[in-house]
Amino acid sequence: MYDSGKIIAGLLIFVLFVTIPVWYNRGSAGAVPDLELPKDAKTCVLPAAEIRAEHMKLLNVWRDEVLRDGERGTFEVDGKQYQKSLMLTCMKCHTSKVRFCDRCHDYTSVNPYCWNCHLAPVE
């Protein structure tokens, strides 16, 4: 093989270069965000796995039912009545947007525009 030295060195540099993100973030990238859960509330409106995966869809369903169909009734979870509302239900337990919502959203690099209008609790 001609110029094998140059080729192998080049390949090595190339491999190192394309794997920069892997070794540069070594150790830190995998850390799952640490969420601050509500202290006094034991149950969410859905089981944890479901609300984690589906909360954005649920919020859209609530929005449409309340705002467009005028269905403003409450629903019951574990004997307690809840409104279909981000500000009046979710954020009454999750009182810190910064230490709950933002931690996951930042980690997954999503930027929901809920907060352009909706107001988070004072922190």
**Angle made by CA atoms 117, 57, 92, in degrees to the nearest 5:** 55
Contact 86, 112 (CB under 8 A): no
Q: Indicate which single residue of 32, 57, 116, 123 sits in contact with another protein (rule: CB under 8 A).
A: 116
Per CB under 8 A, the segment of 4-12, 25-33, 43-51, 115-123 that binds another protein is 115-123
Q: How far is the CB of 90 from another protein (least distance, A)?
A: 13
Q: How far is the CB of 93 from another protein (least distance, A)?
A: 15
**Angle made by CA atoms 31, 35, 36, in degrees to the nearest 5:** 145
Using CB under 8 A as the binding rule, whether residue 56 contacts another protein is answered as: no
The end-to-end CA distance of the chain, in Å, is 66
Q: Which is nearer to another protein, 65 or 107 (CB)?
A: 65
Q: How far is the CB of 67 from another protein (least distance, A)?
A: 5
Q: How far is the CB of 13 from another protein (least distance, A)?
A: 45
CB-neighbour burial class of residue 85 (10 A; exposed 0-12, middle 13-18, buried 19+): middle
Residues 34, 58: Cα–Cα separation, whole Å: 23
Using CB under 8 A as the binding rule, whether residue 6 contacts another protein is answered as: no
Using CB under 8 A as the binding rule, whether residue 119 contacts another protein is answered as: yes
Q: Indicate which single residue of 1, 109, 122, 123 sits in contact with another protein (rule: CB under 8 A).
A: 122
Residues 23, 29: Cα–Cα separation, whole Å: 10
